[in-house]
Amino acid sequence: MAGLINGVGVKITGEADLAAAELRTTDGYQRTKFAIFNLVLEQLEALGITAETAPASMIRDGVEQAITRFAAKEGLALNAAERSLLAAEVQNEVVGLGPLEPLLKDPSIDDIIVNGPFRIFVERGGQLSAVPARFRDTAHLMNIIQRIVSPIGRRVDEATPYVDARLQDGSRVNVVIPPIALDGPMVSIRKFRTQAMGAQDYVRLGSMSQEMLGFLSAAVRSRLNILICGGTGSGKTTLLNMLSGYIEERERLITIEDAAELQLRQSHVVRLETRPANLDGSREVNARDLVRNALRMRPDRIILGEVRGAEAVEMLQAMSTGHDGSMATMHANSSRDAFGRLEMLLGFGGLGGDPKTLRRYIANSIQIVIQVNRMANGKRRVTSVSELTGLEGESYSLNQLFGFEEQPPLSGLGEFRTLSARPYFGHRLVGAPDLRGAAARGLA
């Protein structure tokens, strides 16, 4: 593009992707793109319409006209590839999310991480890498952030410098801005899978064994209460989505989330989402409020996207008082760590007192605990499936049915093992696989 980068022409040739990537990072290209962007907005304003209400064909035509006008005024000789690149990126600025738009459309990307206006990273196959995309400046990034949070009634400003939100396609977004983000606005996007992982995908990709899948599907159908534990990005919600597919169509389900991302396929699903406080600190609706209300809505099962606060009290009440088959996720490094966190959260909810009483309450509410981990090689695996069978003195009694043995350590490689042939809740399971042969192989 003659005159676009410090007065030196840059031409996109056979290596189009590489040249385009280099071009995007230059100040000259950014200035040109936003000059054309401003021309498009002026055209729309002259017609008395906004980018949100204008037809897509009008936006495309307006972008092409603006490029032509700007090129003629500045004496730029644009070839077809250069013109196409500018047109696509200006259109993303007008009606999309700017530099994030092509990353959101790339099916190979799972996470997008923005560290200030000039550094963008993506995760592919569990591995992070930088991409040659950038925002013009902090103001540009803040404008895109406002486009993300405004449509769902959220806000982010100096008074509320962080927020959880979601995109129209269901992708989960977290935003942190100054003054608490010292190096500029930070955006983390967990992309929504357009096609949810199926049960056999877990076996095919090595995320669980066939015996695990058989047992867990039977546990869901048999209405055992299930808690899924793991770290950030370990695949808890994805696993919850998959297991929910085994719930019968006739059941009434209520889901409760901070940012709606579950993809339940049943027809009788009620989706509830928390709401943050407004500017004066009122009108907040938290997860505990929603669980309490859900209990009055005649649910067959309650599915809680994540347990992280005082809502643990109501969740365990639901699990132990007639809402069998309920499911939830929570952050924990192991099954026993999860119980310790639950005890702490029950204390936050006002259930203090004798630790043994709290442990008995937990043990009477939860039957199955699943641990998922993201391994060192980026693979996500179910590393443990255990039954919570009660208490032995002051400690929880766990019957571990399945595990993943990693060899060598920190490699992400290894094999699944069937560790027990006798499920404690076997008498309640419908259609569970016979684990005796698998256990013999696993213990050999």
> Could you write out the three-class secondary structure of 249-303?
CCCCEEEEECCCCCCCCCCCEEEEECECCCCCCCCCECHHHHHHHHCCCCCCEEE
- Name residue, tokens 């003195």: 393
**Domain 97-194: assigned CATH number:** 3.30.450.370
Residue-wise pLDDT for 325-368, tens only, equals 999 999 999 989 999 999 999 988 888 778 888 999 999 999 99
The CATH classification of domain 199-443, taken from the options 3.40.50.740, 3.40.50.300, 3.30.1300.10, 3.40.190.10: 3.40.50.300
Predicted local confidence at residue 53, as pLDDT: 74
Residues 281 and 39: their CA atoms lie apart, in Å, by 40
pLDDT band at 307 (very low <50, low <70, confident <90, very high): very high
- pLDDT at 77 exceeding the cut of 60: yes
What crossing angle do the helices spanning 311-320 and 287-294 adopt, rounded to 10°? 20
Mean of the pLDDT values across residues 153-174? 86
Predicted local confidence at residue 436, as pLDDT: 60
442 or 77: which carries more pLDDT confidence? 77
Predicted local confidence at residue 25, as pLDDT: 58
pLDDT band at 8 (very low <50, low <70, confident <90, very high): very low
Half-sphere exposure of 256 (CA within 13 A, CB side): 30
- pLDDT at 226 exceeding the cut of 90: yes
Predicted local confidence at residue 17, as pLDDT: 53
Mean of the pLDDT values across residues 322-326? 91
Predicted local confidence at residue 320, as pLDDT: 87
- pLDDT at 299 exceeding the cut of 70: yes
Predicted local confidence at residue 444, as pLDDT: 34
Least confidently predicted of 134-138, 189-193, 242-246: 189-193
- Sign, Cα dihedral of 343, 348, 351, 352: positive
Residue-wise pLDDT for 29-75, tens only, equals 778 888 888 888 888 888 777 777 778 788 888 888 888 888 888 88
Instruction: Say if 97-194 and 199-443 have the same CATH topology.
Output: no
Mean of the pLDDT values across residues 396-411? 91
Nearest-10 Cα torsion for 216, 220, 223, 229 = 70
Provide the residue ranges of all domains of the chain, joining segments of one domain with +: 1-95, 97-194, 199-443
Predicted local confidence at residue 10, as pLDDT: 37
- pLDDT at 5 exceeding the cut of 70: no
Residues 142 and 27: their CA atoms lie apart, in Å, by 18
Mean of the pLDDT values across residues 169-196? 88
Predicted local confidence at residue 401, as pLDDT: 95
Kindly report the average pLDDT of the chain as a whole number. 85
Q: What are phi and psi of 207, to 5 degrees?
A: -85, -20
238 or 432: which carries more pLDDT confidence? 238
Least confidently predicted of 202-206, 275-279, 362-366, 376-380: 275-279
Residue-wise pLDDT for 81-98, tens only, equals 778 888 888 888 888 898
- pLDDT at 3 exceeding the cut of 70: no
**H/E/C letters for each residue in the chain?**
CCCCECCECCCCCCCHHHHHHHHHCCHHHHHHHHHHHHHHHHHHHHCCCCCCCCCHHHHHHHHHHHHHHHHHHHCCCCCHHHHHHHHHHHHHHHHCCCCHHHHHHCCCCCEEEEECCCCEEEEECCEEEEECCCCCCHHHHHHHHHHHHHHHCCCCCCCCCEEEEECCCCCEEEEECCCCCCCCCEEEEECCCCCCCCHHHHHHCCCCCHHHHHHHHHHHHCCCCEEEEECCCCCHHHHHHHHHCCCCCCCCEEEEECCCCCCCCCCCEEEEECECCCCCCCCCECHHHHHHHHCCCCCCEEEECCCCCCHHHHHHHHHHCCCCCCEEEEECCCHHHHHHHHHHHHHHCCCCCCHHHHHHHHHHHCCEEEEEEECCCCCEEEEEEEEEEEEECCEEEEEEEEEEEECCCCCCCEEEEECCCCCCCHHHCCCCCCCHHHHHHHHC
